[in-house]
């Protein structure tokens, strides 16, 4: 992938090969090429996808398949989740136009970016949205929300192309670039492991939503690589401090008992 | 139809019922309801349309069928033709965003407006585009122009809704409102009949393109009803004048011969 490649399209658990082909077609219409599939329901490749792409075969030929959203976005520095449903996460909710401007600014700085879409029925899980930096919502009429997957991709891809054709993107960020999703995931794993050991996730059945809220809150900050390292150092330091405090407590207790 | 109804969608010679259903679905997604079909290839109604609308049945149930674009747009005061191909007509070429702003301004003034789309294969004939006030072109990648019909409707419908949601439309026009397409068609018919009698369309095989150029040139002016009447008066005066001049010439000739 060249360093200024357009955003990739990530389809999480797509059901119908026909829709995957229709997505490839609109990607080609608006100059996108990098298609990533997370657990396509009926496996991959599927002939029907090529049949419904009307000749837009290159996104399908080059499509990569992943077993989790985490893997699919590992090399991306900015990922937005496209979903019609309001969520409890504290993430910015923007429209496709703003999303396209943000993605264009990211790509213009040589960093890979992508748009994540859910499957036809289920949409996106909150856990996957929590890995993204914003939620992209289309201005759908509340009286009829059932938007076809390829249509959702089409409108975002159209806005991408409108932004690119209108010239230089805005929204440049000063300072060091944000880390990629793999680096963030490393931080999340470290952080949550230590919190788990510290008994933070209580009651246990609340852990998934607590994790999601933490991730989306940290994700909004868009840490640089240096900041990720710093934050992991903070987690380590706090954990060791907790360990030492526990040791001291145990020692005191032992001395008191003596 | 209430006086501020959203624009209608006119499909000229659509081929696949599946696509008509997909169009109804995106119309419902973005708050459009008035669907007009000109000569659907396989007749109407067609069960497959309902099957592919995912529950967006009301645009299909209320869809009206016409035998010509002229009839389908007769009550509209502003009609834009959506086509990817550049044409020889002297019409403004705009994007979906500008089109949505123009349509919103028209509708806000209580005048019916619409977007005309061609069939899946053939697109729009120049004669039909010549009945419209502008050409709407999507920013398609020239390397892959094959855009699905429902996707083209989706992007225009999305821009319509973005415009409506953003508040008051711009582009108000001072003075009396433009006439509807039926009034313009009456003018065109009158005008062209007189030109025909005057031997204007020469050579005869050039007549269709000459007619198209005249119509699109006049259409851009967006005559008011009063202006249509005035212009028809002009045509009549010129034709009768020519008749009187010929009579006079004949009379003189007769007198000379006497």
Residue, of A170 and A80, whose pLDDT is higher? A80
pLDDT of residue B242: 53
Is residue B225 within 8 Å of B183, Cβ to Cβ?
yes
Is the minimum CB–CB distance between B97 and chain A shorter than 8 Å?
A: yes
Is residue A12 within 8 Å of A35, Cβ to Cβ?
no
Of A30, A95, A139, the CB nearest to B141: A30
Of B31, B139, B151, the CB nearest to A26: B151
Report the run of H or E that residue A104 belongs to, with start and end.
helix A96-108
The rounded distance, in Å, linking the Cα atoms of A137 and A153 is 12
Name the average pLDDT for chain B: 87
Of B139, B145, B165, the CB nearest to A139: B165
pLDDT greater than 50 at residue A87: yes
List, in sequence order, every beta strand (DSSP E) within chain B: 8-12, 35-38, 64-66, 78-82, 93-94, 113-117, 134-136
pLDDT of residue B169: 46
Please indicate whether, in this complex, the C-beta atoms of A144 and B22 are within 8 angstroms of each other: no
pLDDT of residue A174: 57
Share of chain B above pLDDT 70, in %: 88
Q: For B134-193, how does the pLDDT look when each residue is reduced to its tens digit (9 = 90+)?
A: 999 999 999 999 999 999 999 999 999 999 988 754 445 556 788 999 999 999 998 888
CA atoms in the 13 A half-sphere facing the CB of A56 = 32
Burial class, A134, CB count within 10 angstroms (exposed 0-12 / middle 13-18 / buried 19+): buried
The rounded distance, in Å, linking the Cα atoms of B232 and A50 is 55
pLDDT greater than 50 at residue A73: yes
Q: What is the ipTM of this complex?
A: 0.80
pLDDT of residue B1: 44
Q: For B87-109, how does the pLDDT look when each residue is reduced to its tens digit (9 = 90+)?
A: 677 788 999 999 999 999 999 98
Is residue B216 within 8 Å of B129, Cβ to Cβ?
yes
Is the minimum CB–CB distance between A54 and chain B shorter than 8 Å?
A: yes
The rounded distance, in Å, linking the Cα atoms of B258 and B247 is 16
Domains in chain A and their CATH numbers? 8-165 (3.40.1280.10), 181-257 (no CATH)
* Cis check: omega of the bond before B45, within 30 degrees of 0: yes
pLDDT greater than 80 at residue A1: no
User: In b/e form, how buried is each residue of A140-168, taking b as 16+ CB within 10 angstroms?
Assistant: beeebeebbbbbbbbbbbbbbbbbbeeee
Q: For A136-167, how does the pLDDT look when each residue is reduced to its tens digit (9 = 90+)?
A: 999 999 999 999 999 999 999 999 999 998 87
Mean per-residue pLDDT, A229-234: 81
Is the minimum CB–CB distance between A158 and chain B shorter than 8 Å?
A: yes
Burial class, B8, CB count within 10 angstroms (exposed 0-12 / middle 13-18 / buried 19+): buried
Rounded to a whole number of angstroms, the distance from the CA of A234 to the nearest CA of chain B is 44
Q: For A157-193, how does the pLDDT look when each residue is reduced to its tens digit (9 = 90+)?
A: 999 999 998 875 444 555 678 899 999 999 999 888 8
Q: What are phi and psi of B58, to 5 degrees?
A: -65, -35
The rounded distance, in Å, linking the Cα atoms of A27 and A149 is 12
Contacts of A151 in chain B (CB under 8 A): 25-26, 29, 150-151, 154
């Amino acid at each position: 992938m060249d360093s200024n490649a357009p955003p990739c399209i990530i389809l999480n658990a797509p059901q119908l090969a026909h829709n995957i082909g229709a997505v490839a077609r609109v990607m080609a219409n608006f100059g996108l090429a990098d298609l990533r599939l997370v657990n396509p329901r009926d496996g991959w490749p599927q002939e029907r996808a090529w049949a419904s792409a009307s000749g837009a075969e290159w996104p399908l030929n080059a499509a990569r398949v992943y077993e989790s959203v985490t893997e699919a976005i590992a090399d991306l520095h900015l990922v937005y989740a496209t979903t019609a449903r309001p969520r409890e996460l504290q993430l910015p909710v923007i429209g496709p136009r703003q999303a396209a401007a943000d993605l264009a600014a990211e790509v213009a700085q040589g960093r890979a970016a992508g748009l994540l879409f859910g499957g036809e029925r289920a949409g996106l899980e909150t856990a996957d949205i929590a890995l993204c930096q914003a939620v992209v919502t289309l201005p759908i009429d509340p009286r009829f929300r059932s938007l076809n997957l390829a249509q959702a991709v089409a409108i975002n891809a159209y806005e991408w192309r409108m932004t690119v054709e209108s010239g230089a993107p805005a929204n440049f960020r000063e300072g060091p670039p944000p880390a990629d999703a793999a680096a963030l995931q490393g931080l999340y794993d470290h952080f949550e492991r230590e919190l788990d050991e510290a008994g933070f996730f209580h009651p246990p059945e609340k852990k998934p939503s607590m994790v999601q809220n933490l991730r989306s809150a940290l994700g909004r900050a868009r840490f640089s690589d240096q900041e990720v390292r710093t934050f992991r150092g903070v987690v380590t330091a706090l954990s060791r401090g907790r360990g030492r405090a526990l040791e001291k407590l145990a020692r005191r207790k032992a001395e008191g008992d003596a």
